[in-house]
């Protein structure tokens, strides 16, 4: 049975203030909880239906964590989903430390003021798909541990290191020979670019793109051209969704990178 104090604690983690205070976040759903339990992340506690606990008995027995059996009604009281799933876990927030030398060895995503939780989660999932293990976020990017972001990562949150850093200082700390790619209207069309298998890809804000104060650090501006026809009539979208732009750039880089 879950008690009142536990309910209050879990519900408080919906808010960034309390996630930071307790250094914990919530993950919901059978598959997501199973993935995180099997990952490098530390789990503080699990709240689950009896059937789920039985089906995952071996995994739970391997972990030194608190496991609380709950009813569907109780799970609904601590869930942030419209329909509560079978399991909920409280996970400890990791504290990775970024090494600037990583940019000289592999591809790193850098996110500038991403404001939508779903977009951030999808970008983390995209990075994981393309084997990108490090993502740097500006301090004003939406919180990684927002419940909507956690859900959107589909478990990739456990495999990608995410840092919140000052982007200008970070770009200034890396080797000057490391390429920095960024999507700009004045950039070279995507198919004309030659990519490296190391460096930084900057993804800009959904509405405003990459901040102008970061432009001087971009050594390789890239333009993702729209369809020539522009679809029906002469109208076309003003810009791509941030997560879509990230996926296109990651794909093209992995496909054409020199040295891969």
Domains of the chain: total = 2
pTM passes above 0.85:
yes
Q: Are residues 171 and 249 in the same domain?
A: yes
H-state helical runs in 139-257: 147-153, 167-173, 242-256
Coil, strand or helix at 76: helix
Q: Are residues 120 and 223 in the same domain?
A: yes
Which pLDDT value is given to residue 226?
81
Q: Are residues 84 and 136 in the same domain?
A: no
Q: Are residues 79 and 124 in the same domain?
A: no
Give the list of residues 6+ apart from residue 110 with CB closer than 8 angstroms, or none. 135, 136, 137, 167, 170, 171, 200, 201, 202, 203
Which residue range(s) make up the domain with 73? 4-92
Which pLDDT value is given to residue 260?
43
Q: Are residues 60 and 163 in the same domain?
A: no
Q: Are residues 162 and 65 in the same domain?
A: no
Domain boundary among 37, 59, 92: 92
Mean pLDDT of the chain: 90
Give the list of residues 6+ apart from residue 77 with CB closer than 8 angstroms, or none. 2, 7
Domain boundary among 92, 110, 125: 92
Domain boundary among 69, 92, 115: 92
Which pLDDT value is given to residue 184?
86
Which pLDDT value is given to residue 244?
92
Q: Which among 47, 54, 32 has a CA at the least distance from the CA of 90?
A: 47
Q: Are residues 144 and 232 in the same domain?
A: yes
The CATH number for 145's domain is 3.40.1280.10
């Amino acid at each position: 049975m879950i008690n009142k104090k536990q309910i209050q604690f879990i519900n408080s983690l919906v808010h960034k203030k309390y996630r930071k205070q307790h250094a914990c976040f919530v993950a919901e759903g059978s598959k997501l909880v199973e993935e995180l339990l099997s990952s490098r992340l530390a789990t503080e506690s699990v709240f689950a239906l009896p059937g789920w606990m039985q089906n995952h008995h071996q995994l739970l027995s391997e972990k030194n964590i608190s496991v609380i059996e709950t009813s569907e009604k109780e799970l609904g009281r601590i869930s942030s989903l419209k329909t509560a799933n079978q399991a909920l876990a409280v996970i400890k927030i990791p504290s990775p430390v970024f090494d600037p030398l990583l940019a000289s060895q592999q591809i790193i995503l850098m996110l500038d003021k991403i404001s939508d939780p779903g977009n951030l989660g999808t970008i983390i999932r995209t990075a994981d798909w393309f084997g990108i293990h490090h993502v740097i976020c500006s301090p004003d990017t939406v919180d990684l541990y927002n419940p909507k972001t956690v859900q959107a990562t589909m478990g990739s949150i456990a495999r990608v290191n995410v840092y919140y850093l000052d982007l200008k200082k970070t770009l200034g700390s890396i080797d000057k020979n490391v390429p920095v790619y960024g999507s700009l209207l004045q950039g070279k069309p995507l198919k004309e670019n030659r990519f490296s298998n190391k460096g930084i890809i900057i993804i800009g804000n959904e509405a405003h793109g990459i901040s102008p104060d970061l432009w001087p650090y971009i050594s390789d501006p890239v333009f993702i051209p729209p369809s020539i026809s522009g679809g029906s009539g002469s109208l076309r979208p003003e810009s791509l969704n941030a997560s879509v732009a990230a996926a296109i750039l990651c794909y093209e880089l992995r496909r054409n990178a020199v040295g891969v």
